[in-house]
Structure 1
């Protein structure tokens, strides 16, 4: 076997670091949503409106990042995105009202969305140079970051440390690791070509987009509402409430660690379809039985079941003929994170009109829809 060049190994570590940081930063925000919401005295509908800031920021950043990556390369756009996200994190703790919180979330969403497109483009290039499937391992590191962020968030909530000091600590560490990652990311030059920043996805990507939209709503719901459901609907402590996202992220890590090998044995379609069925059944049972442990099991089922959704979708998008990889990533990210970021606010509106359990029931329905459309991910199994 030909040894892996040192530069390529360092690039893999650097990309893994970026995926990890993205998970940490997002989970840091998620872990303190109850505290920030309580500080500003936001009801579920108001919090849902604030969360739209994430959607707006990300939806603006996706096509810009795709265009920038295609023209200038993914190293630059990845670095810019993660720095923006890290700097925006503490701004959310300084917001005096819903409007300023929403604006801070716009910046945070831009960093999140821009990094997501660029780092997945980097991951595709590294995977191609490795000559074997490693995409799921990168996404596993994102989930590991989510676990780390949740654990630290739970600790900080337990000792009642103010979110501002918590967030400043995470920002400082993230910026240091970003410097390291940026020095080792793969130097893949952009094409230098100009083209439209905003472009509609091709028909071949739309079917895939249905699946990733549904999967993303589930992930976004767990991120933004699992802690709220445990604390407000089931009456747990704030520290216990952080276990919801932890259960989801932990199960997702296990699924993604095994994702590459499972896809080799089962194929992309079977892997995704069985996962979405597990997510629907597990979450439904967790909502029917209103007990914290039942909810945690349901959240874990969603984590395991949806774990291969994003890695498989990005691999499939990279195999769509006639589309530049970064443009395909931007299209998939736009459709996916439309669900990831718009889904939770919609759940908030439903919860305000009825209960949060009914709002989370939308995730059950969308997982079943994803099962029906799962045949569209078969492009992930294409070679070359």
Structure 2
């Protein structure tokens, strides 16, 4: 029986929702200012890509140790420190004058964001276990909502005369403050001894769960990076309609995650993954085979609903693998997932360069279909 009172669990749940929201908002804030960073440091496309890669390298590197770090210090302490570091990195995005300074900053941001992400997901898994209810999708819905709000605020502020540096500082103060306050309400969790699982590397069941997470995150990355360009370039939508492509995907994903806990209480993880894969594949096929702006938006929305609960289901499964702590399991799956998110969009770009963007995005159809094929094997 849990030693935590219902009130304590409720407070921790709401604090954690705020932290997921903040994570999405900080992610979106940094994304909105990619053009700002490019202009401030005078970067070309390749140099900018290397800066983004530095964050990915930091993420992948620390994820191999995240389970041990969080097991030793607990999600509460790690989220307190790393939430603060993330906010400082956001505030400092255009503080430096040298490219080397930007690379170092992005490396630190990758490390801190990954540790913060794994710590709140480990806490989410524990709250879900103690409450006896499906909650993970709702937590991840707050990440999607935070991303929508962060992107919306970042797009609106320039017309109000707010400078990029003022926006970054303001976002850092607000997000950092919420992250710090939220961490104080988190549960005190003791991790297993570090030697029980010294590295968060995917093995056995975690390897296949990680593979599916990677496929899902490739799909998400494809929508982030290519949906607007596809709608404008391949189906010849105007700029305003094309801008709705990502909004249709992310809005549908947020809605799917808010409904996801109810769905997970009525469907098994295997059934949900199969349904998710089928819906994602059908949505992507609709967008690619019926080349019109409206069908593209409808298709992207279906992809968003289809992919909405893939990561929550897989993270919950990773946290329950016997003999592995939740932090180790989630970190292991995250490490493979991040590799997919890093590698997927460039892979689609290579195919698009050789053939067309339509051909490149067929990768999403194939990967979505693989959820249905491997769901039962990954989640027995």
TM-score of the pair, normalised by structure 1: 0.86
Aligned to 1:173: 174
Provide the residue aligned with 1:318 in structure 2: 319
Displacement after TM superposition at 1:331 (Å): 0.7
Q: Distance in 2 between matches of 1:373 and 1:312?
A: 14
Query: Compared with structure 1, are the counterparts of its residues 157 and 345 closer, same or farther at alpha carbon in structure 2 (3 Å cutoff)?
Result: farther
Give the 5 Å matches for 1:65-144: 65-94=66-95, 101-144=102-145
Q: Residue 260 in 1 paired to residue 244 in 2?
A: no
Moved more, 147-156 or 186-195: 186-195
Indicate the SS of the match to 1:373: helix
Structure 1, unaligned stretches of length 5 or more?
Answer: 380-384
CA gap of 1:364–1:60, structure 2 versus 1, over 3 A, is same
Which residue of the partner structure matches residue 345 of structure 1? 346
The residue aligned with 2:270 is 269
Counterpart of 1:208 in structure 2 is 209
CA–CA separation in structure 1 for the residues paired with 2:291 and 2:162:
30
Residues 13-44 of structure 1, C-alpha deviations (whole Å, 9 max, x = no match) = 1111111111111122233435545664644x
The residue number in structure 1 matching 2:377 is 376
Check whether the contact 1:150–1:245 (CA below 8 A) recurs between aligned residues: no
Contact 1:47 1:348 in 2 (8 A): no
CA distance in 1, matches of 2:281, 2:50: 26
Asked whether the equivalents of residues 151 and 246 of structure 1 are also in contact (C-alpha less than 8 Å), the reply is no
1:302 paired to 2:303:
yes
Counterpart-to-counterpart distance in 1, 2:154 and 2:293 = 19
Evaluate the alpha carbon distance shift between residue 85 and residue 287 of structure 1 in structure 2; reply closer, same or farther with a 3 A threshold.
Answer: farther
**Distance in structure 1 (CA, Å) of the matches to 2:350 and 2:288:** 18
Distance 1:164 1:242, change over 3 A: farther
Structure-to-structure mapping, 1:190-201, within 5 angstroms: 190-191=191-192, 193-194=194-195, 197-201=198-202
State the alpha-carbon separation in 1 of the partners of residues 108 and 125 from structure 2: 26
Q: How many residues align?
A: 376
Q: Where does residue 226 of structure 1 map in the other structure? A: 227
1:335 aligned to 2:359? Answer: no
Contact 2:348 2:361 in 1 (8 A): yes
Tell me, yes or no, if structure 1 residue 184 matches structure 2 residue 185: yes
- 3-state secondary structure, aligned to 2:93: helix
Residue 225 of structure 1 and its aligned partner are, at CA, apart by: 3.5
In 1, Cα distance between the equivalents of 2:231 and 2:38?
15
Q: Residues 77-136 of structure 1, C-alpha deviation per residue, up to 9 Å, x if partnerless? A: 122222222222244345668766554433322222111211111111111221222111
The more displaced of 132-141 and 278-287 is 278-287
**TM-aligned CA distance change 1:169 to 1:361, over 3 Å:** farther
Q: CA RMSD in A?
A: 3.0
Q: Structure 1 pair 337/129, CA: closer, same or farther in 2 (3 Å)?
A: same
Bigger mean CA deviation after superposition, 277-286 or 118-127: 277-286
Worse overlay, 191-200 or 270-279: 191-200
Q: Work out the CA distance in 1 between the residues paired with 2:161 and 2:19.
A: 29
Take 2:80 and 2:362, find their aligned partners in 1: how far apart are those partners?
37
Q: Output the TM-score relative to the length of structure 2.
A: 0.87
Partner of 1:154: 155
Q: Distance in 1 between matches of 2:153 and 2:100?
A: 27
Aligned 8 A contact 1:48 1:346 in 2: no
Alpha carbons 1:312, 1:377 under 8 Å: kept: no
- Of stretches 171-180 and 101-110 in structure 1, the one that deviates more from structure 2 is 101-110
Does 2:368 align with 1:367? Answer: yes
Asked if 2 retains the 8 angstrom alpha-carbon contact of 1:215 and 1:367, the reply is: yes
CA contact (8 A) 1:280 1:302 kept: yes
Distance 2:345 2:96 in 1: 21
Counterpart CA distance in 2 for 1:137 and 1:4 is 21
C-alpha separation in 2, matches of 1:352 and 1:103: 31
